[in-house]
């Protein structure tokens, strides 16, 4: 491609950029998602950390505390703040006055001294997410207390408590802290992938279906400029929006992770300059492919709204590998790097997990995405030679 064609592509690109930068809707759609996704992630993880911290200091309402003074004393020694209540526990929890209540039956003491199972009733509402962690903690404490009493009863009868311990399971975790953090935050690659599709969508639609609807596309095509040059100019303008959105999403994600109380969740993500460059290298080719597909699909639409409908379905494309990876473990193979979206998902997850970077995988994933993108642009330029596409008939 000679210098004159490059200059024409640049002129068309700048024309599209100027028009869309004046359009507040285009700028808003490009900037909204990079902040929306990471902010959502920040509030979710902060809320989870608050629940975990809340579970460290438990206020346990107890009905019938006088029937099990030994249990109450043991719970107090474990740092539980026991609050006796006199009201009907079922009614109190049902009316959402309290999240959960431990009820001790009057027969508890007799059964306990006779060596029989002593019944405890834990009233709770499983539909309340904010109390689920505390309820689980209470259940774990009661199981520990039960185990300790069982061991003491066996010792009192001259039986070693280890007799009933059939197997002793030792769990050795081999995954690194960063890899475990990447698994817990596997939606971050999804945010980054979606940014490539969403941030350039508005300009891709406006440069094709939007111009056709306004009647300016016909006038533009009357210029003595090859169709491929015009389409590439529009494409690069959309890529600029998409790439900017991807970079902003990465930056805001990293900032959000540094601000989140990840240590309270047992997560230790490492996101420095090396990881930022790796994530960027993995996702930038998708900005080219996403916008190329959007321009191609929008060329078939008769109106701006129709094009948005087509492209909204296209946004499902990058979500499929992420959803699949949450159900099945994917063994990375070289051929997968030639599958767009799947390759990016695997590379982003590998970088976040601190795994060994295979340079050839980045090259293969980038080349396959760019080749498919350029193929889409060539098809679009050929479509622009047909009157039915130009006039939307």
pLDDT of residue 327: 66
Residues 134 and 100 sit within 8 Å (Cβ to Cβ): yes
Distance, CA of 99 to CA of 123 (rounded, Å): 8
- The pLDDT score that the predictor gives to residue 374 is 93
Chain centre distance of CA 161: 45
- Going by the DSSP 8-state scheme, the letter that residue 355 receives in this structure is P
Predicted confidence (pLDDT) at residue 341 exceeds the cutoff of 70: yes
Domains of the chain with CATH codes: 3-48+177-391 (no CATH), 55-164 (3.40.190)
Is the model more confident about 1 or about 84? 84
Chain-centre distance for alpha carbon 327: 14
Residue 128 has a pLDDT of: 73
Cα(first)–Cα(last) distance of the chain, in Å?
33
Q: Which of 388, 83, 20, 81 is nearest to 239 (CA)?
A: 20
Average pLDDT, the chain: 80
Q: If DSSP codes are grouped into helix, strand and coil, which group holds residue 124?
A: strand
Q: Is 106 exposed, middle or buried (0-12, 13-18, 19+ CB in 10 A)?
A: exposed
Residues 6 or more apart in contact with residue 219 via CB below 8 angstroms: none
3-state secondary structure at position 386: coil
Q: Is 101 helix (H, G, I), strand (E, B) or coil?
A: strand
Alpha-carbon distance 130 to 123, whole Å? Answer: 15
User: How much of the chain exceeds pLDDT 70, in percent?
Assistant: 81
- φ/ψ of 353, rounded to 5, equals -85, 0
Supply the DSSP symbol for 41: H
Query: How many CB atoms are located within 10 Å of the residue 267 CB?
Result: 21
> pLDDT for 164-187, tens place per residue?
666 777 777 665 555 555 555 677
377 in Cβ contact with 369 (< 8 Å): no
Instruction: Round the CA-based radius of gyration of the chain to a whole number and report it.
Output: 30
Residue whose C-alpha is closest to residue 14's, from 294, 264, 342, 234: 234
Return the closest-CA partner of residue 247 out of 219, 284, 295: 284
């Amino acid at each position: 491609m000679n210098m004159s064609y490059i200059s024409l592509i640049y002129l068309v690109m700048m024309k599209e950029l100027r028009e869309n930068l004046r359009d507040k809707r285009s700028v808003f759609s490009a900037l909204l998602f990079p902040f929306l996704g990471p902010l959502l992630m920040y509030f979710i993880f902060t809320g989870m950390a608050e629940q975990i911290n809340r579970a460290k200091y438990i206020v346990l309402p107890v009905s019938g505390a006088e029937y099990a003074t030994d249990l109450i004393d043991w719970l107090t020694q474990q740092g539980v703040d026991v609050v006796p209540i006199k009201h009907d526990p079922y009614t109190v929890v049902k009316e959402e006055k309290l999240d959960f209540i431990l009820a001790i039956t009057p027969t508890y003491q007799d059964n306990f001294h006779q060596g029989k199972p002593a019944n405890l009733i834990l009233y709770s509402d499983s539909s309340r997410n904010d109390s689920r962690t505390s309820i689980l903690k209470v259940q774990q404490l009661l199981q520990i207390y039960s185990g300790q009493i069982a061991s003491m009863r066996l010792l009192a009868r001259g039986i070693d408590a280890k007799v009933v311990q059939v197997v002793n399971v030792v769990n050795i975790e081999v995954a690194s802290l960063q890899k475990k953090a990447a698994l817990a935050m596997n939606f971050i690659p999804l945010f980054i992938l979606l940014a490539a599709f969403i941030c350039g969508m508005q300009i891709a639609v406006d440069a094709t279906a939007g111009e056709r609807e306004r009647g300016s596309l016909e006038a533009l095509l009357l210029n003595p400029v090859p169709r491929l040059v015009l389409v590439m100019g529009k494409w690069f303008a959309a890529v600029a929006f998409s790439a900017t959105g991807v970079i902003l999403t990465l930056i805001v994600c990293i900032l959000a992770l540094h601000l989140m109380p990840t240590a309270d969740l047992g997560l230790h993500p490492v996101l420095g300059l090396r990881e930022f460059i790796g994530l960027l290298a993995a996702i930038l080719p998708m900005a080219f492919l996403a916008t190329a597909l959007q321009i191609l699909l929008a060329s078939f639409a008769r109106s701006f709204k129709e094009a948005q409908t087509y492209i909204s379905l296209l946004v499902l494309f990058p979500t499929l590998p992420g959803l699949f990876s949450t159900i099945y473990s994917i063994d990375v193979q070289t051929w997968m790097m030639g599958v767009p979206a799947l390759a990016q998902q695997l590379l982003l997850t590998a970088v976040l997990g601190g795994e060994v970077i295979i340079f050839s995988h980045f090259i293969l994933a980038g080349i396959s995405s760019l080749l498919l993108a350029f193929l889409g642009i060539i098809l679009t330029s050929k479509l622009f030679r047909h009157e039915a596409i130009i006039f939307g008939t």
